[in-house]
């Protein structure tokens, strides 16, 4: 059930990051082409130019477009004729390099799919936001958990009023992989994520709590007001938080909680969302993403499954499916749904049409900037023992 | 596998509360006799003397010991010869009457099994605590969730060091029955629980968050230091909180969170506990109490079942079982385990032996008083928008 | 929510079997008194007269009614005045003694609650059935899994037509405890269950497949026609089957399958039932008995929970509950529901009223006899490599 | 973690079937390219030549290689220079056309990935098998459920002896979509699957029971001996079975059961496998494929998750993963794992190397032929009311 793009060709993609040993670069590359609407034709896969070239083979990127740096990529691609030049650049590097790469790409007029968190700090995020607004490019941030069909169903159930007024939101992201000090064992993923120079002001809260917070924002559309946060570093000698908890108030009076852990033994990637409305409640868990509970007092508990053909499935959820019920979809497909939604806007841009930029189906620059503000205020609040700080961003989806 | 009491007769029980329409009185009466170690021989089942007599029949209490008030019960039982007089009095009335009943019983030298929360406020709790200490009676508070065999297993896994140092504790108690304003519909259970005169300073936090907090305390033995709390009343016109969230710090540096809701559609009695230790984590859910997850990085997830004969089962858990694995036990049996543990101490008291009063297997007067302090400080903190307040009680289990 | 009996006193119970080391005797004793409608006043707890006396203490049975044999019990109780004499006798002994005990009790006019399988073979069962019919006593067989509230709900959903015509029934009972040759290790439970002299013609199929078959019969009311069975003994040297599988045809054209195992590592007491109807399907699992799935194409999966107050709960299920939703009930309560239903008929008999004997809420002598016929024909079919044999009993519930 | 092929280019794929409205064609196309090791360059997407051309666009197949029939495809591709010609042909058409297409492709020297069941009947299967043997091409059959990482882990746990000797295997495949007579409503998928001319001798048993049987074969390697089968058509007027059950004996004495349903309301695509060994048991469920239970008496239940980095993960399972634990993989990835394994052999063939043809990681021509024999003997047995018939194929994996 792919949306048909209004252009009659595949989009051309460049990948920055994703060299050997990377995890998320490969995910971007796989998700981007899952629906056959794009092809990966260029890359700057590593900050080490030799490794960048070598890695190109893994992605079947032609060697003449396997660049040694993002700067070279942008320069050389700009020099190509328009009908060969890449349409968009995916940024799958450690956090501290997002800004310079994304900013350069945006300024050069390329659409961008950027990993999260958006930048290293809020100042970068704001500067990038301004650049995106003035350039008019399509800019997506891979808060990928919003790409699951049942998450989109959840959003539509909230916005349609089926759950009534939202009173409370519980957002959790529980992992265990950092309960030992992996960063001392040359584990690449752990090393940069626990290093403030590369990861930013927060560790656990930047890496995963932002996902949980964003998931709650996407599903409920509630505007956050204030945050009170408590971060902890339980592993001795670690530079950044590996556990944290925040309370969030929303404009409508709802109360939210965000709990994130990297130190809970045996827990893998346990993102969960619970939403309480006056007419119904729902809960969803990423590790079993084809199911969602919807509950209403006096009725049996309802287990919604991802079923594109069921009468209870919302259009947005149905369109986000590629397989019938019982044939499970998972992480790659959700990630690809972010790409697919961004492609629709890229196609509109190519066709010279206007397109929505705030309430997009994909997480956008405003979501990304909001996430950076969430991180900054979480850390600031925690540094003042949970002092309430504003967290409402100037422009954001509802 | 009942522990054999050192006395060779059944204990004699009186029940206060539990008249027709009551829920928890029947639970006390059933749990108390489950192991055939006690018999219910007297009662003051309702504050309405006529109803008190009528209800006696439901419990097969002889009419001459179906008293019209707790005062009459205490007076008349004291007048009986010692070998007929009741050994203990169970208090299963709304919160505001716990104090006067329990205090009178204690002062008269009766052992007491009291429902939670202990009293209406902290002043009453402290006064009662002093009375219990001076009288030397056995006093148990039915924080019944600690009676589940796997909860006792959890405690032993923590205290034995199997999970390492405890870093974080997540305590939740989620219900949905009060999402409509049942107190306006003459629903008896709802009416007193939402009435500050009968329920105390907190609604949801007094009724259920105390259970969750106590469960975390029992399992981890961590001493709480401070609390920051946010209570909400989401149902318009309700007099007490129906949702709340607290952050708790513990002396050892651990971080706890307590979330309680009475307004989450379709959720029934969903008490959950998650404990993160440096060597392992565990999680347990009351609605499926015969299972508990234990996880350690690098190992398959371990599902412990309630199995009195398994090598991995701790002695305390095994002794708390009445059935082999796969033959599920549930609420009544856990409740009965509180009684059973109290009976052991009652038997010691009758035999003139010394007995433990702080680190008891059953929740005791100190747990009860701590719970009242937790409620008081939660409300006070919430009234000051989450201000940190001390919550460590002067004497409590570890 | 106990049904009020039309008599105004507790019923008096005698227990045969249940001496120290027994499992099921204790279950009978606990379940029988759970609702305070009976008291255990006499027993013949062991075939060893000394041990019989000693065990009496565990049950608080007065020593003068702790008999040395079931014969003595019947004789001495008959000699008591009618207002002291026991009303019913519970038989909780190994299979090979059921017949003589139950027959003697029935002939003496006592009501009987008998463990399953009913007898050692079909001839005994038929003779006992005749005796019950002529004596007019209440006779219940503890196929206890039918006592779960949601199993009764399932039956009512089938009989009301909510699931349409039943096409298929899948009945499973999977255990693992006999995967090693426990009978060689002086494990009492294993010893008699694997000994044809004490257990009967079948091992696994007699001990547990009968439960699964009976569960399917109770819920669907379908009349079985023929059976094709394959038994296996996987543990070398064992005398009876420890695994088996049968296909059953029903009069209405439905197809049933019964699978039972005692050799599946780690499985505890995993009784499951799945029923496929033309309008809906359901599935239930004993180890988590407070939940049942009901499914209809085009609708979300419905999880029914045991909720006495929910509009979707059938009256029979609601009356079988003792606790509100979310406060789990389990094995003892289901077992007690069998007793409770039998008590209602005992009270009717005492009051001289007529009572239903075939379509009773409790499993009765016809269910018991049908179970024996099921065992006999399963073994016979298996001996002829799955030859189809008739399995329809002459008189049975629908 | 893709295996590196010994050739340095993408394989070229042609797709037969998969025109608009098809389900499985799109799955083949997506899975085939998931690892960037192949590209779809040609197709004969529909038996309607006009529709074949139109559908090409959906797959981004160049129009000059969008053929009007499989015959044209083979002829024209053979005419291309070897370095442009497709390397393999995927057959995703209704069953009755598999034979002619696959046979032609094999005879022309193309490698083939063929949907299941292999052919319309056994005679075709045997003829095709001979053709494959004489041509030496790589031939895979998409019994895709064997591609899940944890299924491969299960196989390795059996073959390594970790579970001991296998005693019993329970294979189930439960669906509900055909409980109404969809074939009368112009539902394309239902129409051909219930039509013996296009589907073959069996409906439900051909479409899904073969998958379940194959899954048991793959995991256990047990050689089947005999089968006793009972098929049913519950929906009136349907031409083929929509429910069925078989008992299977294996050479080593193990007992297997296969249950398949298309008429169980609300069940989606519920493939489950349970294996009982003398040292351990396991169970796996396709709808939640990232988890597998492993159980051993006396130990906690072990939940294995799909975790490429865990010490308990077998090499074969780890190599079948593309994402870390907790980032769920699902249907597409399992399907792609079949392709990936076939690619490895195609690369060997291109490189002139020998390769395994019977005990391959992908289901092969022998598995396919065995599946056809299973269908034939199931139908024949059912026609004789469950008569035992041989089911051991002359050449098959172990």
What residues in chain A have their Cβ under 8 A from chain D's Cβ atoms? 8, 10, 23, 26-27, 29-30, 33-36, 40, 57, 59-60, 175, 267-270, 286-290, 305, 307, 322-333
Please name which of D371, D388, D338 lies closest in space to residue D142, comparing C-alpha atoms: D338
Cβ contact, residue pair C300, A298, below 8 Å: no
Cβ contact, residue pair A266, B280, below 8 Å: yes
User: Min CA distance, A294 vs chain C (Å)?
Assistant: 9
What residues in chain C have their Cβ under 8 A from chain B's Cβ atoms? 2, 8, 10, 23, 26-27, 29-30, 33-36, 40, 57, 59-60, 175, 267-270, 286-290, 305, 307, 322-333
Averaged pLDDT for residues B100-105: 98
Question: The tokens of C102 are what?
Answer: 């139950």
Question: Is A231 in contact with A244 (CB distance < 8 Å)?
Answer: yes
Question: The tokens of D348 are what?
Answer: 């060997």
**Structure ipTM:** 0.95
- Parts of chain B belonging to CATH 3.40.50.720: 11-145
Model confidence at D166, pLDDT cuts 50, 70, 90, reads very high
Cβ contact, residue pair D36, A23, below 8 Å: no
Mean pLDDT of chain C: 95
pTM listed for this prediction: 0.96
Cβ contact, residue pair B266, A301, below 8 Å: yes
Residues B231, B261: Cα–Cα separation, whole Å: 10
pLDDT at D52: 85
Q: How is residue C296 annotated by DSSP?
A: -
Partners of B11 in beta bridges: B38
- Find chain B residues with C-beta within 8 A of D302's C-beta: 300-303
Chain D's closest residue to A37, CA to CA, is D60
Give the dihedral of Cα atoms A363, A365, A370, A376; nearest 10 deg: 120
Best of B150, B296, B298, B300 to mutate (most D CBs within 10 Å, chain D): B300
Only one residue has tokens 């106590």, namely: B214
Per-residue pLDDT for D179 more than 50? yes
Best of A290, A291, A300 to mutate (most C CBs within 10 Å, chain C): A300
Cβ contact, residue pair C310, A301, below 8 Å: no
Cβ contact, residue pair A23, D324, below 8 Å: yes
Cβ contact, residue pair C168, D264, below 8 Å: yes
Domain A146-327+365-390, what architecture?
A: 2-Layer Sandwich (3.30)
- The SS3 call for residue D369 is helix
User: Min CA distance, B270 vs chain C (Å)?
Assistant: 7
Per-residue pLDDT for C3 more than 50? no
Phi, psi dihedral angles at D275 (to 5 degrees):
-125, 125
Averaged pLDDT for residues C332-360: 97
pLDDT at D20: 81
What residues in chain A have their Cβ under 8 A from chain B's Cβ atoms? 167-168, 170, 176-177, 179-180, 228, 230, 232, 234, 243, 245, 247, 253, 255, 257, 259, 261, 263-267, 274, 276-281, 295-297, 299, 301, 385-386, 388
- Find chain A residues with C-beta within 8 A of D26's C-beta: 322
Of the partner residues A27, A59, A329, the one whose CB lies closest to the CB of residue D331: A329
- Give pLDDT tens digits for C225-263: 999 999 999 999 999 999 999 999 999 999 999 999 999
Cβ contact, residue pair B300, D299, below 8 Å: no
- Parts of chain C belonging to CATH 3.30.360.10: 147-326+365-390
Question: Is D337 in contact with D30 (CB distance < 8 Å)?
Answer: no
- The SS3 call for residue B114 is strand
Burial grade of C44 (CB within 10 A; 0-12, 13-18, 19 or more): buried
Q: What length is written for chain D?
A: 398
Partners of D281 in beta bridges: D276, D295
Per-residue pLDDT for C4 more than 80? no
CATH superfamily of the D11-145 domain: NAD(P)-binding Rossmann-like Domain (3.40.50.720)
Chain B's closest residue to D325, CA to CA, is B298
Chain B's closest residue to A242, CA to CA, is B167
Cβ contact, residue pair B266, A280, below 8 Å: yes
User: Min CA distance, C333 vs chain B (Å)?
Assistant: 9
Of the partner residues C298, C301, C312, the one whose CB lies closest to the CB of residue A299: C312
Question: The tokens of A144 are what?
Answer: 């990928």
Cβ contact, residue pair C265, D281, below 8 Å: yes
User: Min CA distance, A92 vs chain D (Å)?
Assistant: 16
Chains that touch C (3 or more CB pairs under 8 A): A, B, D
Averaged pLDDT for residues B173-193: 94
- Find chain C residues with C-beta within 8 A of D279's C-beta: 265
Residues D207, A103: Cα–Cα separation, whole Å: 53
Only one residue has tokens 């990935």, namely: D113
pLDDT at D324: 96
pLDDT at C7: 67
Of the partner residues A265, A277, A296, the one whose CB lies closest to the CB of residue B297: A265
Per-residue pLDDT for C77 more than 60? yes
Per-residue pLDDT for D45 more than 50? yes
Residues C181, C237: Cα–Cα separation, whole Å: 8
pLDDT at A2: 39
pLDDT at B6: 53
Which residues are within 8 A (CB) of A64 and not within 5 positions of it... i.e. 6 or more apart? none
Q: What is the DSSP string of D335-358?
A: HHHHHHHHHHHHHHHHTT----SS
Chain D's closest residue to B300, CA to CA, is D304
- Find chain A residues with C-beta within 8 A of D8's C-beta: 57
CATH superfamily of the B146-329+364-390 domain: Dihydrodipicolinate Reductase; domain 2 (3.30.360.10)
- Give pLDDT tens digits for C340-349: 999 999 999 9
pLDDT at B4: 45
Cβ contact, residue pair B269, C36, below 8 Å: no
Residues D165, D252: Cα–Cα separation, whole Å: 9
Lowest-confidence pick of A90-99, C132-141, C186-195: C186-195
Model confidence at A104, pLDDT cuts 50, 70, 90, reads very high
Angle at B308 between CA C93 and CA C116, to 5 degrees: 25
Please name which of D54, D69, D96 lies closest in space to residue D14, comparing C-alpha atoms: D69
pLDDT at D19: 87
Of the partner residues C27, C268, C328, the one whose CB lies closest to the CB of residue B305: C268
Please name which of B198, B197, B203, B199 lies closest in space to residue B238, comparing C-alpha atoms: B203
Record: fold of D147-326+364-390: Dihydrodipicolinate Reductase; domain 2 (3.30.360)
pLDDT at C50: 84
Averaged pLDDT for residues B2-21: 78
Please state whether the peptide bond connecting residue C209 to the residue before it is cis, i.e. omega within 30 degrees of 0.
Answer: no
Share of chain D above pLDDT 90, in %: 90
pLDDT at B339: 98
pLDDT at C54: 85
Averaged pLDDT for residues B287-292: 98
Model confidence at D1, pLDDT cuts 50, 70, 90, reads very low
Averaged pLDDT for residues D128-135: 98
Per-residue pLDDT for A208 more than 80? yes
Helices (H), B206-364: 210-220, 315-319, 331-350
Record: fold of C147-326+365-390: Dihydrodipicolinate Reductase; domain 2 (3.30.360)
- Find chain B residues with C-beta within 8 A of C309's C-beta: none
């Amino acid at each position: 059930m792919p949306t048909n793009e209004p252009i009659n060709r595949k989009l051309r993609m460049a990948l920055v990051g994703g060299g050997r040993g990377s995890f998320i670069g490969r995910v971007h590359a796989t998700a981007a082409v899952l629906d056959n609407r794009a092809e990966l034709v260029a890359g700057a896969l590593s900050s080490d130019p030799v490794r960048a070239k070598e890695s190109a083979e893994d992605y079947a990127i032609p060697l003449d477009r396997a660049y040694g740096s993002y700067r070279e990529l942008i320069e050389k691609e700009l020099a190509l004729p328009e009908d060969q030049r890449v349409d968009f650049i995916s940024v799958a590097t450690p956090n501290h390099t997002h800004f310079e790469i994304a900013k350069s790409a945006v300024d050069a007029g390329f659409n961008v799919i950027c990993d999260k968190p958006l930048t290293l700090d809020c100042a970068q995020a704001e500067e990038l936001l301004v650049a995106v607004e003035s350039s008019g490019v399509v800019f997506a941030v891979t808060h990928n958990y919003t790409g699951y069909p049942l998450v989109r169903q959840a959003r539509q159930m909230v916005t349609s009023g089926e759950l009534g007024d939202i009173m409370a939101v519980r957002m959790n992201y529980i992992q265990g992989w950092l309960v030992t000090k992996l960063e001392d064992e040359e584990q690449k993923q752990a090393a940069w994520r626990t290093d403030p120079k590369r990861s930013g002001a927060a560790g656990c809260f930047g890496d995963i709590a932002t996902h949980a917070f964003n998931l709650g924002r996407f599903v409920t559309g509630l505007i956050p007001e204030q945050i009170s946060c408590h971060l902890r570093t339980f592993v001795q000698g670690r530079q950044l938080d590996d556990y944290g908890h925040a309370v969030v108030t929303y404009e409508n009076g709802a109360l939210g909680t965000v709990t994130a852990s990297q130190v809970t033994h045996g827990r893998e990637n346990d993102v969960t969302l619970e939403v309480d409305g006056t007419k119904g409640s729902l809960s969803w868990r990423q590790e079993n993403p084809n199911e969602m509970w919807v509950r209403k007092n006096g009725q049996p508990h309802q287990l919604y499954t991802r079923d594109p053909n069921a009468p209870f499935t919302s259009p947005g959820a149905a369109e986000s499916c590629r397989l019938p019920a019982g044939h499970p979809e998972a992480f790659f497909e959700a990630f690809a749904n972010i790409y697919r939604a961004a492609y629709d806007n890229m196609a509109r841009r190519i066709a010279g049409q206007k397109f929505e930029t705030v309430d997009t189906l994909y997480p956008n620059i405003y979501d990304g900037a909001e996430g950076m503000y969430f991180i900054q205020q979480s850390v600031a609040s925690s540094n003042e023992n949970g002092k309430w700080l504003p967290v409402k961003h100037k422009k954001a989806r509802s």
